[in-house]
């Protein structure tokens, strides 16, 4: 999951979002990030492991074969294009599949392979000779539940006998009906209704309980309490699995309420850096001249893709309309779009159908589009007091990893205040930001 409060939204070990608006974007950013991501995020940090008995052995696996999975399941894993376990999977999978089962709390940033890991565990724990729900997975939202279900369905493509049921809005059951699916993936409210109010399944027969996106769960009103109520009903012997992108005090308390005697594994988010980024600023007189600067840069941008950040959605749509009127092909990621529309905007951009994506800060949380070479700050990121928001600046333009692609950042500056903000950014990062004359945009390369 992506968002944390304020600028750190997409960041790793930050705080959970506070306001409900933030909460909404936490769930949504997490969702969009899953959709837009093309593969694993690599991370060269070491995994940190905590457990009650440090002398008990810990295993890590370097291949999926080493897990002794059902052949059909292994085939499904390979069909998804997974060759070897990701860093977090190397450590998590042996714990997830251990006999007797072990409880696990795992934290790592979105995109590191947590979902794939617990989905594999869910599938391999199913006893297909028993026609009732044995595995219960709680997701914060409808969309995230479906996303997880989709991974499960693909991984189980050669195991047609494993059945999955979604307990989400829109799914209705007749009174007195009983579920015969093996796995339930759902949101807390619906699962409470189905398991406790209507008894569509016997919650006492659940042997694997997964809580996904715990930090997003916390950010949504009522979800944490509902999850705890469900948890109270599952048998003590049930394997408890808890996943989160961030791990602050609040998430830790939540984890403790759900998971007893866990192995805790954490993979710190890799810091973003400005190492491979060339930073420039362009002197502009007004919004109009900012537009002129963008138009001049546009010619150069065609070598790759660009994201343009605006401070408000008004500016973002003004800019998009102006560029479209001038015959440019741009994508606008705006707050008015439905989730489906946003996904389609991002899909098109990822496929290169548009070269430029215009967006505001809130919407871009947690979205990193690898192939973007140029980031334009149409407006510099500022906090409520109007000071430089350096964390957001880093998120927008920074890259992780030694092999992070080189990039270009262009900051449009107009007037004294934005000059002051630029200076704060320069001082904060201790890096030069060179002036660029856009009349002579060749300088960029």
Please give the residue ranges that form the binding site for ligand ADP (CB under 6 A).
34, 37, 39-40, 80, 82, 85-86, 89, 110-116
| Least spacing, CB of residue 114 vs ligand ADP, in Å | 3
Among 245, 272, 247, 270, residue whose Cα is nearest residue 45:
270
Q: Which is nearer to ligand ADP, 94 or 113 (CB)?
A: 113
| Least spacing, CB of residue 49 vs ligand ADP, in Å | 17
Q: Which is nearer to ligand ADP, 155 or 192 (CB)?
A: 155
| Least spacing, CB of residue 237 vs ligand ADP, in Å | 26
| Least spacing, CB of residue 6 vs ligand ADP, in Å | 22
Q: Which is nearer to ligand ADP, 85 or 195 (CB)?
A: 85
Q: Which is nearer to ligand ADP, 148 or 359 (CB)?
A: 148
| Least spacing, CB of residue 145 vs ligand ADP, in Å | 13
Shortest-Cβ-distance residue relative to ligand ADP: 115
**Residue 114 near residue 91, CB atoms below 8 Å:** no
Q: Which is nearer to ligand ADP, 70 or 205 (CB)?
A: 70
Q: Which is nearer to ligand ADP, 122 or 380 (CB)?
A: 122
Residue with tokens 């595995």: 135
Q: Which is nearer to ligand ADP, 66 or 444 (CB)?
A: 66
| Least spacing, CB of residue 417 vs ligand ADP, in Å | 38
Q: Which is nearer to ligand ADP, 110 or 134 (CB)?
A: 110
| Least spacing, CB of residue 85 vs ligand ADP, in Å | 5
| Least spacing, CB of residue 247 vs ligand ADP, in Å | 13
Phi, psi of 15 (to 5 degrees): -80, 155
State how far Cα 212 lies from the chain centre. 12
């Amino acid at each position: 999951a992506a968002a944390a409060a304020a600028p750190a939204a997409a960041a790793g070990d930050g705080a959970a979002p506070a306001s409900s608006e933030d909460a909404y974007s936490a769930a949504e950013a997490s969702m969009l990030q899953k959709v837009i991501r093309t593969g694993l995020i690599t991370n060269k940090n070491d995994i940190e492991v905590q457990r009650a008995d440090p002398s008990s052995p810990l295993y890590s696996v370097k291949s999926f074969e080493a897990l002794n999975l059902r052949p059909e399941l292994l085939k499904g894993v390979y069909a998804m294009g997974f060759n070897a376990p990701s860093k977090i999977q190397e450590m998590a999978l042996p714990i997830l599949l251990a006999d007797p089962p072990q409880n696990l709390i795992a934290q790592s940033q979105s995109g590191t392979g947590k979902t794939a890991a617990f989905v594999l565990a869910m599938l391999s724990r199913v006893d297909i000779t028993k026609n009732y729900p044995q595995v219960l997975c709680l997701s914060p939202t409808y969309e995230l539940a479906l996303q997880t279900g989709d991974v499960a369905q693909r991984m189980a493509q050669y195991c047609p006998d494993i059945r999955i049921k979604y307990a989400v809005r829109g799914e209705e059951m007749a009174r007195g009906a009983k579920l015969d699916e093996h796995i339930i993936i759902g949101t807390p409210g619906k699962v409470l209704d189905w398991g406790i109010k209507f008894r569509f399944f016997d919650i006492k027969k659940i042997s694997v309980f997964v809580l996904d996106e715990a930090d997003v769960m916390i950010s949504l009103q009522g979800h944490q309490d509902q999850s705890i109520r469900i948890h109270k009903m599952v048998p003590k012997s049930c394997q408890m699995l808890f996943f989160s992108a961030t791990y602050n005090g609040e998430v830790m308390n939540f984890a403790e309420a759900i998971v007893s005697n866990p192995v805790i594994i954490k993979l710190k988010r890799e810091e973003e850096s400005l190492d491979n980024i060339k930073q420039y600023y362009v002197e502009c007189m007004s919004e109009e001249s900012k537009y002129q600067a963008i138009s001049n840069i546009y010619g150069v941008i065609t070598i790759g893709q660009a994201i343009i950040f605006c401070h408000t959605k008004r500016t973002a749509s003004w800019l998009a309309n102006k560029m479209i009127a001038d015959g440019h092909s741009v994508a606008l990621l705006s707050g008015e779009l439905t989730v489906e529309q946003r996904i389609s905007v991002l899909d098109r951009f990822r496929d290169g159908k548009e070269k430029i994506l215009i967006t505001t800060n809130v919407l871009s949380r947690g979205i990193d589009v690898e192939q973007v070479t140029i980031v334009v700050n149409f407006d510099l990121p500022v906090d409520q007091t109007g000071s430089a928001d350096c964390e957001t600046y880093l998120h927008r333009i920074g890259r992780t990893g030694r092999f992070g692609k080189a990039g270009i950042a262009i900051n449009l500056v107009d007037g004294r205040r934005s000059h002051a903000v630029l200076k704060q950014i320069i001082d904060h990062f201790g890096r030069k930001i060179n002036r660029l004359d856009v009349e002579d945009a060749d300088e960029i390369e």
